[in-house]
Amino acid sequence: MKKVLFTLIAIVLLSTSCLNAPTGGSTTGTKYDATQDAKIAALEGIILGPNGLQAIVGNIQSKISGISDVPSLLAKYTALDARVTSVEGRVGTSTGGVTQAQLDALSARIKSIEDWKAGLPSGGSSGGTPAVAGVIDADGDLQLILEREKEDEVWIDDNVAETWRLTVKNNGTSSTYFRINADFDCEESVAITKATLTPAFSYSTTITTSPAEYVPATPVTSLPWLVTSASGNKIYIGKSREESLYLTLKVDYTTDSVGKLWTWNFSIRDLGG
């Protein structure tokens, strides 16, 4: 029995003497490991890079911390909205604030003042500067406008007609009547055989002058006319209307065939409806 046990021990010792430690074994990772490392490095760049998710989140947090108190802003907006609603409720009501009728009345007054300023008398022989280009006189809602500019002094040749192109403008909201005063002054006393002023009004064919013509026996320095209508001695114009008015002067000198220098002046009178 002892002999058999000894034999087994000997076999074991001989077998273990043949096992040697590995020398120069490989420690290199696989291709799969390299791929995973590359993916991990890319993810780290996305998260931790200078423009990565961590930096973006930090910027957003900074901006949020810089915003004022949101509840306070909402409270201010609510208060402002209530004030606007209150103002809107007052406008257009009869219980307070400004009514629409008051706004309309104020607008009408402003327009009236503007029309009045535009109708300040000027131009013609008065030598003033018109408030509106061409306006030479105004009365009430009426304006007399010179459509083609003329010098204050006009040379009138013998038997040669000279025409003034005018417009009569009614700025009012109702029709009215008017007359025109036309006056011509010569630079010196002059003998004339006859002088006529011929009017033409776009609305009426009955317009005329008083006198119809001048046939003076002595030299004159002034030729005044009243431009009116043969029917009723006043000229009609409708509301918010503009009508053309032409005045043509012709002088027949007695001895002077050269002509003379004349100053002119036109004025309008609103006679009402």
Looking at per-residue confidence, does 30 or 221 come out higher?
221
Domain assignment present for 125: yes
Q: What is the DSSP string of the chain?
A: -HHHHHHHHHHHHHHHTT-----S---PPPHHHHHHHHHHHHHHHHHHSTTSHHHHHHHHHHHHHHS--HHHHHHHHHHHHHHHHHHHHHTT-SSSS--HHHHHHHHHHHHHHHHHHHT----GGG----SSTTEEEEETTEEEEESS---SEEEE-TT--EEEEEEEEE-SSS-EEEEEEEEEEEEEEE-EEEEEEEEEESS-S-EEEESSEE--SS-EEEEEEEEEETTTSSEEE-TT-EEEEEEEEEEEESS-SS-EEEEEEEEEEEEE-
Domain assignment present for 61: no
**Mean pLDDT, residues 201-211 taken together:** 92
- Residue range 63-122, pLDDT digits in tens: 666 665 667 777 777 777 777 776 666 555 555 556 666 677 677 667 666 665 555 544
Domain assignment present for 16: no
Domain assignment present for 177: yes
Across the chain, mean pLDDT equals 78
Domain assignment present for 141: yes
Lowest-confidence region among 19-23, 137-141, 159-163: 19-23
Lowest-confidence region among 11-20, 113-122, 177-186, 257-266: 11-20
**Mean pLDDT, residues 158-175 taken together:** 95
Position 23 scores a pLDDT of: 53
Domain assignment present for 190: yes
Q: pLDDT band at 127, cuts 50/70/90?
A: very low
Domain assignment present for 186: yes
- Owning domain of residue 177: 117-272
- Residue range 223-268, pLDDT digits in tens: 999 999 988 889 999 999 999 999 999 999 998 778 899 999 999 9
Number of domains in the chain: 1
Lowest-confidence region among 18-27, 123-132, 247-256: 123-132
Position 47 scores a pLDDT of: 75
CATH of the domain at 238: 2.60.120
Looking at per-residue confidence, does 4 or 189 come out higher?
189
Looking at per-residue confidence, does 235 or 34 come out higher?
235
**Mean pLDDT, residues 21-37 taken together:** 63
Domain assignment present for 79: no
**Mean pLDDT, residues 14-40 taken together:** 61
